[in-house]
Structure 1
Amino acid sequence: MAKVKYYYDSENLAYRKIITKKRKKFGFAFLFLLASALFGLLSFLVLLNTPYFETPKNRSQAREIENLKLRYAILDKKMDEVDKVISFIEDRDNNLYRVYFNASPIPEVERKSGFKDMNRYKDLEGYNNSQLVINTTKRIDILQKELSVQSKSLDDILKLAKAKDKLLAAIPAIQPVRNENLKRMVSGFGYRTDPFTKARKMHEGMDFTSKTGTPIYATGDGVIAKADNTASGYGNHIVINHGFGYETLYAHLSRYNCKAGQRIKRGDVIGYVGTTGRSEGPHLHYEVHKNGKVVNPLNFYYGNISAVEYVAIAQLANQENQSFD
């Protein structure tokens, strides 16, 4: 039975029964129900964000995330296999194809370098598995770059293969002075005693002694880049640009048999032995340059001498004697 409430009427000095209007009753009931609904909704939202309550949609999303992680792991293993194949191709490219065609190997840092743009992967940040996605994307980008570098390298090798005959003709492969015209080879490539200062210094070529006027032969096909006496110490000298990174220099000539810009063939007479410039006697100072660096000419005498002659020249070249310039 509902409680009956009263209030005191001071005018009539009596207690009166409190009669609640139906409208108020309905208002109170509505407010109670509204508050209950809001409390229930709030509780539901809190539960949704706890690990103790999972909706079917959450379970489905969790399965998808695990599936994606598994796919990324499989993709990583596949990239490992691709990386091994690319490394094998790169090794053959540097140590077989490029060696065969006398091309410089591609540096490892150029093949494996990443990208300098620090914001390249910014759009992938801020997610639960961002690092996984970023690492995989970086690997794919590096693999793509490696493939691009290797593709270009193979294009270069193909061009070299097509120009193989020109390459073989351009390589400086014979002695610049014939054996029958040689008195002896005075000095080889390496550290030798300077004839003027008597100090030990690098001798960047080979000295062939012969009488003045002895013919000097172009050691490979090319174009005469210089035929003058402008370089200090060399006197009258010739520089031939053979292409493919090769250049040869012939110094201390008595006179020329060519001019700058002239195209010549291996074996053509380009000048004559002399003693101009910084020289102690008639001889030819001969240098070979590859990609801007001086190299030992002894490594290129295979076009017109026998194995026995090569051994004899090598023994003379390796003696620690005095150079002629």
Structure 2
Amino acid sequence: MAKVKYYYDADTLSYRKIKTKKSDAYKKSLFGFLAILLIAFFGFIGFSQFLTSPKERAQKRELENLKLHYELLNKRMQESSKVLADLQARDNNIYRAYFEVNPIPDEQRKAGFGGINRYKYLDGFNNSEMIKNTTKELDILSKQLVVQSKSLDEIVNLGKEKEEMLASIPAIQPVKKEDLTRMASGFGMRMHPILKIMKFHKGMDFTAPVGTPIYASGNGTVIRAERSATFGNVVYIDHGYGYETIYGHMSKIITKKGQRVKRGDLIGLVGNTGRSVGAHLHYEVHKNGKALNPIYYYYGDLSPEEFIAMQKASQEEGQSYD
């Protein structure tokens, strides 16, 4: 029951009841309500600094996990970059050097991505800088992997070409060691047996009985198989890659123009045809039109000791057989 308040009226010398206006009551109630709201609001603000809701705690844990994942991703990318850098170094210094092709410049391998606004869409997050750096590193790593992948594809193709080239380069003696009587004359200035003058001998002479097999020293195409005044029965083989070999003074040609031959294929027999003073094979190696010393192209046949012995014999012999 609400208390009734009175006041003393001096005029009537009596107590009168205090009557409250309704508007005052409403104002009083309104001010009380507002005071409660203010106290509640400031109390919430104060307590929120120390207390978090379950949803906020879950979001905070998710952000921490996301940050941890980015840090782990950065670490893995750094490890991958080291592996890629090692592969790039071997690619430039071993693989590409072996196949005699230019290395890929670092500017091409490590080129970044232009445009200052490329990663602008990642702004506005709590860890924007970390996210932008990680995304940028991932983009660069992806580009380097594409460049390296293309380089390895090129190396594979070069390997196939190199295999074909190695099979084509003259690499064996055209007459087997066991079939030779001796190595009659080597590359260089020699006394011509018929003209009796010093003349440059562009090849090597291998003495062997008439009918001894003669083999192609590398893969190639027969471009000439004919009889000439100088070489008698002679075969020319184009090996590609600038190499050409000549086999002269045959007793019989066992091949024909346009025929594809492989290293070790029988192409003719030793003879004494043309300008010759004894049964032998005259053998020449040319590279880009220039005669080279054939002795350096027997690495498929000779041991180091045999090479030295042949080199010594070719230098000591003063007269050629043709």
Gaps of 5+ in 1: 1-91, 104-155
Is 1:293 paired with 2:290? yes
CA contact (8 A) 1:191 1:320 kept: no
Report what 2:173 is aligned to: 175
Among residues 189, 205, 212, which one is paired with 2:203 in the alignment? Answer: 205
Equivalent positions of 1:1-325 (< 5 A) are 160-230=158-228, 232-325=229-322
Alignment: residue pair count: 180
Letter in 2 for 1:223: T
Alignment partners' CA distance in 1, 2:187 and 2:316: 10
Letter aligned with residue 313 of structure 2: L
Displacement of 1:159 after TM fit? Answer: 6.3
Q: Aligned with 1:229: secondary structure?
A: strand
Judged with a 3 Å threshold, the aligned counterparts in structure 2 of structure 1 residues 314 and 292 are, in CA distance, closer, same or farther, namely: same
Q: The residue matched to 2:316 in structure 1 has which SS?
A: coil
CA contact 1:160–1:167 (8 Å) conserved in 2 = no
TM-score of the two chains, using structure 2 as the length reference? 0.52
Q: CA RMSD in A?
A: 2.6
Residues 158, 243 of structure 1: alpha-carbon distance in 2 compared, 3 angstrom cutoff: farther
Mapped partners of 2:177, 2:267: distance in 1: 17
| C-alpha displacement of 1:161 | 4.3
- Aligned counterparts of 1:292 and 1:233: Cα–Cα separation in 2: 19
| Contact 1:252 1:273 (C-alpha < 8 Å) held by counterparts | yes
Distance 1:187 1:212, change over 3 A: same
CA contact (8 A) 1:234 1:251 kept: yes
Q: Describe the superposition over 1:208-250 as per-residue Cα deviations: whole angstroms up to 9, x where unpaired.
A: 00000000010000011111014x3011000001000000000
Do the aligned partners of residues 256 and 170 (structure 1) sit closer, same or farther apart at CA in structure 2, a change above 3 Å counting? Answer: same
Cα distance in 2 for partners of 1:161, 1:285 equals: 33
In the alignment, the residues of structure 2 paired with residue 221 and residue 319 of structure 1 have an alpha-carbon distance, to the nearest angstrom, of 31
Map Cα deviations across residues 238-269 of structure 1 (whole Å, 9 max, x no partner).
00010000000000000011111111110011
How has the CA–CA distance of structure 1 residues 292 and 158 changed in structure 2, closer, same or farther, with 3 Å as cutoff? farther
* Structure 1 pair 250–196 and aligned structure 2 pair: CA distance change class (3 A): same
Deviation, structure 1 residue 196 = 1.0
Residues 173-219 of structure 1 show CA distances to partners (whole Å, capped at 9, x for unaligned) of 00000111000011000000010122111000000000000000100
Shift of the 210–236 alpha-carbon distance from structure 1 to 2, 3 Å rule, reads same
- Which whole-Å CA distance do the structure 2 matches of 1:189 and 1:160 have between them? 33
Query: Once the 2 structures are TM-superposed, how far is the Cα of residue 320 of structure 1 from its aligned partner?
Result: 4.8
Deviations 1:104-154 (A, max 9, x none): xxxxxxxxxxxxxxxxxxxxxxxxxxxxxxxxxxxxxxxxxxxxxxxxxxx
Whole-angstrom CA distance in 1 between matches of 2:260 and 2:193: 35
Q: CA deviation at 1:162?
A: 3.9
SS in 2 for 1:266: coil
Alpha-carbon separation, structure 1, partners of 2:190 and 2:100: 28
Distance in 2, matches of 1:294 and 1:157, equals 31
SS across alignment from 2:245: strand
Rg larger for: 2
What percent identity do the matched residue pairs reach?
53
TM-score of the two chains, using structure 1 as the length reference: 0.52
CA distance in structure 2 between the partners assigned to 1:300 and 1:252 by the alignment: 21
User: Structure 1 residue 319: deviation in Å?
Assistant: 1.7
Describe the SS at the equivalent of 2:308.
Answer: helix
Instruction: Find the counterpart in structure 1 of residue 55 from structure 2.
Output: none
Partners of 1:300 and 1:224 in 2: CA distance: 19
Check 1:222–1:250 CA distance in 2 against 1; reply closer, same or farther (3 A cut). same
Structure 2 portions without partners, runs of 5+: 1-91, 102-153
